[in-house]
Structure 1
């Protein structure tokens, strides 16, 4: 199978699809008559190139080639997968899809990013209706795995299976929608929450930020890894879902929400929501918010990956099935008190050696702050850099183990700072690991070693003296 994807519509969603395919080794052709489309897609690609590879512990495939086409024909001819991502207008989508149908190969797939229309509605008047399916993703497409896959009676089941395989090969989770329905599954759920949120703002119960905080600091975190029903099943205790429904089901008849009653979006309400949203953003630009979103998603998804759960499980499967390649035969003072987090452990069940480096680095940072080489000092252009470490591993450390690091300054003169760290089990004092760490004071302007400022040097020397005499 040739790996050529044509993206029709170069907005945020189209750009996200382009990134998904391109970074998974597909050649991508983009068609959008908007002269700004190449710039817009390039900006999405820049974010994706930074974010997507960070989800995996192996290298992704060599990036495919991207081409910006000047005609629809040039974009879709010979493509294996065509993704339509034009604005949500049924008339426009039908027109574009029919145009695509004039040039596609007989076995090519045409996926529509529509968030609301059914495949039957999109297939009307199409020369090859059996090749048209709904493939509705979520932004950012290059990080969020779910894509709602909807077919009609005109789509053969084996073709739907092939479409699923292609989507899985680029790291996505094709959620097969069992029957055609407007807005599919996910957007119908989102719309319910959106309607109630509009009423909460309209009635002065909550601001936009308070509603968002209720989600992101509460059930949104549960939903991210367990969904709705499994979360409620746990809410039922040992008796499970049946007990939960018996206990909380009657509340569904209470007039808590206005689920099906949508407030009129008057100019006043629109202004209220827009003003609150502006205040919530606190001056951040859309680009700022997108960058923040991407950073957060990477952290959440990698955390889920370590636990082999939900979207993290998909990452592991994608890595194992699509991204892994065979190995080649190459030759290659108390300053910290905490417990070992579970994501620091490895396949042997103990703390990974790389995390010891982080522990001792944190210990050195504590010493730096203590002598005045803090963030303000660093902002002024000075810091200490580690030049050499020697770590000795003496005993296993496991998840939830409390430990402390005791650090000695064994050399503190001129540009030199040498520390000796002992990591000990907090209860019992068993020695777990040691680190001999040699550091040099550096100018962040020249990136070369230089003497510390006098007040910092005085504190370093005093520490070294007191530690030597102890």
Structure 2
């Protein structure tokens, strides 16, 4: 299978799809008649290039190309994955899907970003109905992993499985919606909350800002990592979900919500909500709000990643597929990554504690390379850091691409010494250096001991390879900044 994706419709969602595919190493072809499409998608991709790599502690794949096409047939021909993201008008979608099928391979996946239409509605009159699936994402597509995948009754099983495989490969979570229903799953929740919010504003109970605060300071934080039912299971205490249902079930009969009705959508209501929204967020541009949103999402997703929970576990598992083993070279490239937003202090640059994290990651890469990996540690052996000396040579800013070059300066019995140079990938400037001394230990006695033979031989081999080129340039004094 080739790694070519075609994006038909380049709005906010289409641009997000283009960014996600391209940053995961796919070549992307975009078809959109809007003369501003290239500029708009370019801005979305710029935001994605800054944010998405911050989620990963592994190097990203080489970015794919993004090309823009004025002919739809040219854009979709030969593409393995095609995503339709045109406006929500069924007759327009039928016309576009027919044109796609006339030009694409029968083996291509055709996904639709529709939030409302069912697969059976999209497949009406199609040449190959089973080729078309609903693949409904959430904005920003390049950060939020959920995509509701709805194959419908006329599904082509190989096409559906291929769609799942492709979406997982670009770091997304395909949620298989097994039965057709209007608005799928997630948007039905959002619609319920939206209706209730409209009533609260319409009736003068709450402002738009108060409603947003109720979500972001309260249950929104719980939902982000536990969802709905798991949250309520915990709320039931030791007796669990059954107790929660028995305790709170009767309230379902109380007139707490107006979900069966919706306020009249008058000009006055629109003006009221728009005015309150302007007062709440009008001091920031849309691009500033997008960056704030992306920063917050990156920080929260990385926190979940640290706990191996929810969407963070998905990123961790995907990252494992991106790790590339080291090869013997001088120097070893032990770290390639982007500086994430949660590593920055009040001065706007990387906190000094995070340099220790970077060099720790570099030494772990060396350990894995010589065979002192997770299995070796589980068997009761490891290397402990006994001493480090870090020099901070230049500022390291959020969003910068960095790498670490590592040399083995000593590999003798239980002793291992490493020299790390952290550099800015863009120009090679050295940002920091670290002289690190490690001792091999037994985890049973917690005392130093010789490594096992295979690890010892691998360390000594690297030390010989790096001999003569191991010292590196003398560390510079920190520059004035």
Given the two structures, how large is their TM-score scaled by the length of structure 1?
Answer: 0.72
Q: Secondary structure at the match of 2:199?
A: helix
Q: CA deviation at 1:328?
A: 2.0
Q: CA deviation at 1:146?
A: 0.2
Deviant stretches of 4+, over 3 Å: 344-348, 351-358, 386-393, 438-442
Cα deviation code 1:245-287 (max 9, x no counterpart): 0111111111111111100111111101000000000410111
* 2-structure distance, mates of 1:282, 1:26: 37
Q: CA deviation at 1:234?
A: 0.4
- Relative distance call for 1:329 and 1:91 in structure 2 (3 A) is same
Uncovered stretches (5+) of structure 2, i.e. residues with no partner: 333-352, 362-373, 378-383, 392-430, 439-475
* 2-structure distance, mates of 1:8, 1:353: 56
Residue 326 in structure 1 maps to residue 311 in structure 2? no
- Note the aligned Cα RMSD (angstroms): 3.2
Cα deviation code 1:74-114 (max 9, x no counterpart): 00011111100001111111111111110010100110000
Q: Secondary structure at the match of 1:328?
A: coil
- Relative distance call for 1:250 and 1:392 in structure 2 (3 A) is farther
Q: For the pair shown, which has the larger CA radius of gyration, 1 or 2?
A: 1
Residue 277 in structure 1 maps to residue 277 in structure 2? yes
Alignment of 1:372-411 (within 5 A): none
Cα deviation code 1:333-372 (max 9, x no counterpart): xxxxxxx9xxx89999xx99999989xxxxxxxxxxxxxx
Partner in structure 1 of residue 291 of structure 2 = 291
Partner in structure 2 of residue 43 of structure 1 = 43
Q: CA deviation at 1:441?
A: 8.6
Partner in structure 2 of residue 160 of structure 1 = 160
- Relative distance call for 1:53 and 1:387 in structure 2 (3 A) is closer
Cα deviation code 1:190-211 (max 9, x no counterpart): 0000000000101111100000
- Relative distance call for 1:112 and 1:292 in structure 2 (3 A) is same
* 2-structure distance, mates of 1:174, 1:80: 17
* 1-structure distance, mates of 2:295, 2:432: 30
Contact 1:387/1:439 (<8 A) preserved: no
Contact 1:16/1:139 (<8 A) preserved: yes
Residue 107 in structure 1 maps to residue 123 in structure 2? no
Query: Which of structures 1 and 2 has the larger relative contact order (alpha carbons within 8 angstroms, sep 6+)?
Result: 2
Residue 78 in structure 1 maps to residue 78 in structure 2? yes
* 1-structure distance, mates of 2:9, 2:385: 45
Partner in structure 2 of residue 366 of structure 1 = none
* 2-structure distance, mates of 1:354, 1:68: 53
* 2-structure distance, mates of 1:301, 1:137: 17
Partner in structure 2 of residue 10 of structure 1 = 10
- Relative distance call for 1:241 and 1:104 in structure 2 (3 A) is same
Alignment of 1:102-181 (within 5 A): 102-181=102-181
Alignment of 1:211-226 (within 5 A): 211-226=211-226
Partner in structure 2 of residue 305 of structure 1 = 305
Cα deviation code 1:140-179 (max 9, x no counterpart): 0000000000011211333312211110000000011010
Partner in structure 2 of residue 186 of structure 1 = 186
Partner in structure 2 of residue 462 of structure 1 = none
Contact 1:58/1:319 (<8 A) preserved: yes
Partner in structure 2 of residue 407 of structure 1 = none
* 2-structure distance, mates of 1:355, 1:197: 55
Contact 2:388/2:436 (<8 A) preserved: no
Partner in structure 1 of residue 367 of structure 2 = none
* 1-structure distance, mates of 2:432, 2:307: 34
Partner in structure 2 of residue 30 of structure 1 = 30
Contact 2:232/2:244 (<8 A) preserved: yes
Alignment of 1:200-219 (within 5 A): 200-219=200-219
Q: CA deviation at 1:389?
A: 8.8
* 2-structure distance, mates of 1:353, 1:144: 40
Q: CA deviation at 1:329?
A: 2.4
Q: CA deviation at 1:66?
A: 1.3
Q: Secondary structure at the match of 1:67?
A: strand
Q: CA deviation at 1:189?
A: 0.6
Q: CA deviation at 1:387?
A: 9.0
Q: Secondary structure at the match of 1:35?
A: coil
Partner in structure 1 of residue 442 of structure 2 = none
Contact 2:390/2:435 (<8 A) preserved: no
* 1-structure distance, mates of 2:231, 2:389: 35
* 2-structure distance, mates of 1:258, 1:45: 40
Contact 1:388/1:439 (<8 A) preserved: no
Count of equivalent residues: 367
Contact 1:387/1:440 (<8 A) preserved: no
